[in-house]
Each structure stands twice: as C-alpha cells, then as structure tokens.
A and B are shown apart, each in its own frame.
Chain A
C-alpha cells in the first residue's frame, strides 16, 4: 500500500464525529487532570482507559492520546500559577513561570507555555510520522531472538524511570517481572502461583495492577495526611503573549522541540530531563541569560517545548517496535492490547489504517490543544478549587467502576486494592512504581521470546547472538548498563566523600 493509500485509509477511519469528539474530550480531560496538583497525566490516562472499552479501537486510543497530550500541557498551569508542577515534566517551567506570575505576568507565561507546547507537539508528531514507519520496516525482519535482545535493551529504560536510586528501581522491576509470572505457563500450560484460583490463571489483570499502582497510593496518601497544602493561585494579569515574544523565543522552541524528539524516541528518558536540557540550552544561548530564573519568557518557552516535544516521539518506539517509551505509553500499549491490537512492526502491515488514523488524529490534537488550552488557562481557578476531600473519594469510585468493567469481575477490584497497598508501601519506601509497571508489561514478552528462541534452536544460547541485529542490541545494552553502573559508582563515591568531609 502506498503512502497516499495508507493516508486515505487512515483518513477514512477517523473522518467521523466520534473520533474527533473523543480526541477533543481527551485533550480536555488531560488538561484538567494535569492541572490538578496530586493527579498527573499518568493517572488521568489510567483512569480514562476503562471508558474506552466500549469504543472502537481508533476512537479509544485517540481519547487516550488526547489525555496524554493535554496532561503534559496541563501540568504547566499549576506550575506557573501556584508553583506546584502538575506533572514532573513541568518542573522546569516553575523556574521562570512562577517568577513571571509573581510579577503579575501569569497570563503571558501561560500563553507562551501554550504556544510553545503546541509548536513542539506539532514538530514531535511530524517526527513520529516520518520515523515510525521507517523504523517499523526495519523491524519487520525481527524474529524471537532479535525481539528478546530488543526487549532486554528496553528494560534498561528502567534506569531512566528509577529516580535517584537505580537499585530501588531494579527491585521494583523485579517485583513487576515476578508478578507477571502469575498465571498459566506460556509453553506447558502448567500453573504458576495461581493457588488453584481460576481468576488467576490468566495472570493478574493489567488495568487492576496499573490503577492499583498509580491511583490508589495517591488516595492512601491523602488518607495518611489529609491536611494537604494547597498553594495560592496567582491571578492571570492583563498581559498576553505577543507575536513578537513568540518570534523572539522561536529558536528556543524549535531547539527544545528537537531535544524532546531526540530524547523522547529513546525509551526511558522521559519529558522532565528533556525540559531541563532544553531550558539549560536556551539559557546558554540566550542574550538574556542573566534573566533566566527571574521570570524570562524564553525560559518558559524552552522548558515547555522540551517536555511537549517528547509527547509524539515516545510513540515512535511504541508503534514501530512495540516497546513503550515511558509509563504513559506503557499504559497506551495496554490499551492497544485490550482492543486486540499488538503495537509493533506488524501493525504497519496489518493495521496500517489505524496507524495513519492515529497520525492524523495526533496532528489534529495539536490544534485542539491550542484552543482547549486557552480555555483551561482561564478556568484553572475552578479546577484548583475542587476540594481534595471530595475529589479523591470520587477518584476511588472511578477506580472501582473502571477496574470492575474490564472483566465484570469483583476479584479484579480486590487485586487493585492489594496493588494499591503495595504501591503505597513502595511510595513510603521511595521505591518508584514506573519500573514495576514497565517490567510487568515487558516481562511476559521477554520470557516468551526467550523461550521461543530456545525452542527454535534446541536450547542453544547462541541463537541470541545470531546476527547483526542481536549484536547491535547486545552492544547497546552493554553500553547502557556500563554507563548506569559507572554513574551509580560515582554517586556512591560522591556520597562517601561527603561523609568524610566535616
């Protein structure tokens, strides 16, 4: 099928009111979810997922992508107005956004955040369209050994989402991999940790584990300490961003977008490092560098371009290789699976209409983001005023309904609560939840491809080194592990030196 044919097939799939309505609704939900401190884009995507079950795959996935895009921008609103990033990705926006708000220029800062976000989002989406197909055509020649080495390399993304302790991230990943072994064995069909319970024979439900890990611990944190400290929202002021200011920041926006695209296409880096790198590059190159940190509009533009530039690019490894780029794309990968689709190179052959439908939807999402973002900026006061004592019980009810709806099974609700307890303990012990989820998703794929490789080769390990592709991924894995271990040793030495000094 030619490019034009694929594009037309995609257009045919999404040219209906439901698809665009779902996209707009998703962006709106995402902006609101991202703007509420204590919620996050991840939680918003997780909670929206059960509502997509009754939709067609394209409509459901567009809804989730809208939530993702909206959530990343939404996080910048509280970052600027109340100095509380709605998502970790917006942390860099606080540096200049809040000082601008203190000067009475919140409207200008938010306007620039929106312009920069939409521009970066568009560039990121275009990068996805250009590179995903190319990468997928390369990946079509992969067999189980190649996929095994690719997934093994992808597991090193855990280093990127492990926070300040790689070992704790590793422990979290091991728990996720172990939990993924529950159910019937993939080859022999024998029981593994099922305790003769039929509910566990298919493994633990992904949505129950996901919502249990990401939403319930937030509710338990609220129960642990109900006296949440809400910031004071600054007024928007009368200043609006001008085209002159946008043009002055344009270089930083484009640079930040490309930084976002590059870092986003590497699994595990995420939006926050991209935002900080984009910010520091803008500061280094700007003639107003001394003003950065004191309310420089170019700083807001650079950080927002950096974090939104990631949003489309994280879908490149997901769609082309079937490997999630970050936690949110891991959830979206789960959504694909629930709708009977397996992201990866074969999707470009079997479901090319869905792929191009998504591309079209993503481009349109940038436009929706612009208009809905403008409304959200003005409406933030109402969102910020939702009392936590009502919001979190509502989230709990949403979780119960959502998890029950997956299989019409009360057992799944119990699994969600159990995972919520695990997630809360992990939170208290500063063990990151993201590696757990990524490992839980990638675990069965890793084991499946490993055992298929062994079956192919009569249990000879050499099959895992059978060609240039496997060697390429082994080399990448070795380099990444080496870099991670070296960074870990340096950090440990640094801490030890810190103790010996008075």
Chain B
C-alpha cells in the first residue's frame, strides 16, 4: 500500500474513532458522579481530551497526506499470494481464539501443545519432526518452571493431570 493512501486511511480512521468516542463510547461507558465540583476533575474530562486530540491528529494526517507525492507506480506487495496470506492470518486468528476458549477444558499445557503444532504446520515448517518434538517438550518444560519453580497455579484441564 502506498504511503499516501495509508496516511489518508489512518486519518479517516482516527477521526471516526474520535467521533465514536465523544458521541457514543464516553457518554455510555464512562460513568461520573453527579457531584463533581469542577469539570477538570471529572472522570469524563481526560478521555474527552484524548478523543479530541485523536481527531486532531487524524485531521493532521489527512492534511499532510495531500502534500505527499503520488508514487509513479504502486508498491510491490510483500507476499506473492495475498489471498493465501489472508487465509493464513484468519486461521491464526481462529487458533488464537480457540486457544483461549479451550484452555479451561484442556489445560494450559495441552492447549500450548496443540497451539504450537497448529502454528508450526500453518507456516509449513520445513522441520515437522522437530516441530512435533518441540510442541511436546517446550510446554512441558515451561510447565515445570512455572508450576514448580515459580509457583504459578497452571490450569490442568479436565483430561490429564500433571504432577
């Protein structure tokens, strides 16, 4: 993506975020007591100031983008196959969300093993055997450190109980 286009998109995004914060998010999700003696001390003051500054920066981004030169030819993409790259990202997002959701059931160690293996195969590792060995060994080593040395209560899950 060219620099100018990035700048404009960021500017529009910042202004939209600013408007959303001032019009919706702050009035609905920030509560303030009714007896605040001065507006400066109100819990609403700081978020409003920051939201307004975000909008100003957004405007600045748009204004300065106008001064930027248009490239003669568009930037070359950093990946050959963009749809495949997006698919990999989507799968990675699913792996991350799934790891958070299944952690209470599978335990931290089991989840980490599955997450390791899934990620390694997602990026098509050239060393699948090493990846599988590491997928088992690294979570176990970390379990030993955190559970037995650091004293962290590592969730065990419903299926396997580790010593």
Contacts and interface: CB of A to CB of B under 8 A. Distances in A.
Interface of A: 51, 53-54, 165, 167-168, 170-171, 174-175, 177-178, 181, 185, 187-188, 190-195, 219-220, 222-226, 387-390, 392-394, 396-398, 400-401, 404-405, 408, 410, 413-414, 417, 420-421, 428-431, 447, 450-451, 454-455, 459, 488, 492-493, 495-496, 498-499
Nearest to A195: B29
A224 B82 CA distance: 9
A447 B152 CA distance: 33
B10 interface: yes
Given A171-B58, A185-B32, 18 more contacts: A51-B145, A174-B14, A178-B51, A181-B47, A188-B43, A190-B33, A220-B89, A225-B79, A390-B127, A393-B116, A393-B119, A393-B125, A398-B142, A400-B112, A405-B152, A454-B40, A459-B37, A459-B41
Contacts of A454: 38, 40-41
B57 A174 contact: yes
A388 B119 CA distance: 11
Interface of B: 1, 3, 6-7, 9-10, 14, 21, 25, 29-33, 36-38, 40-41, 43, 46-47, 50-51, 53-54, 57-58, 60-61, 64, 67-70, 78-79, 85, 88-89, 92-93, 96-97, 99-100, 103-104, 108, 111-112, 115-117, 119-120, 122-127, 130-131, 134-135, 138-139, 142, 145-146, 149-155
Contacts, number: 195
Nearest to A174: B54
A429 B152 CA distance: 37
A430 B103 contact: no
A408 B21 CA distance: 32
Contacts of B150: 51, 53-54, 405
A417 B154 CA distance: 19
A167 B30 contact: no
Decide if the interface of chain A is mainly helix, strand, loop or mixed.
Answer: helix
Nearest to B70: A499
A181 B50 contact: yes
Contacts of B92: 219-220, 223
A408 B151 CA distance: 11
B32 A451 contact: no
B153 A408 contact: yes
Contacts of A222: 123
Contacts of A421: 93
Nearest to B53: A174
Decide if the interface of chain B is mainly helix, strand, loop or mixed.
Answer: helix
Contacts of A192: 29-31, 43, 47
A156 B50 CA distance: 16
A421 B58 CA distance: 21
A267 B47 CA distance: 26
A492 B64 contact: yes
A458 B154 CA distance: 49
26 contacts: A51-B145, A54-B150, A168-B10, A168-B61, A171-B61, A174-B53, A181-B46, A181-B47, A187-B43, A188-B33, A190-B31, A192-B47, A223-B88, A223-B92, A389-B127, A389-B131, A390-B127, A390-B131, A390-B134, A393-B120, A397-B138, A401-B142, A401-B146, A410-B100, A454-B40, A499-B69
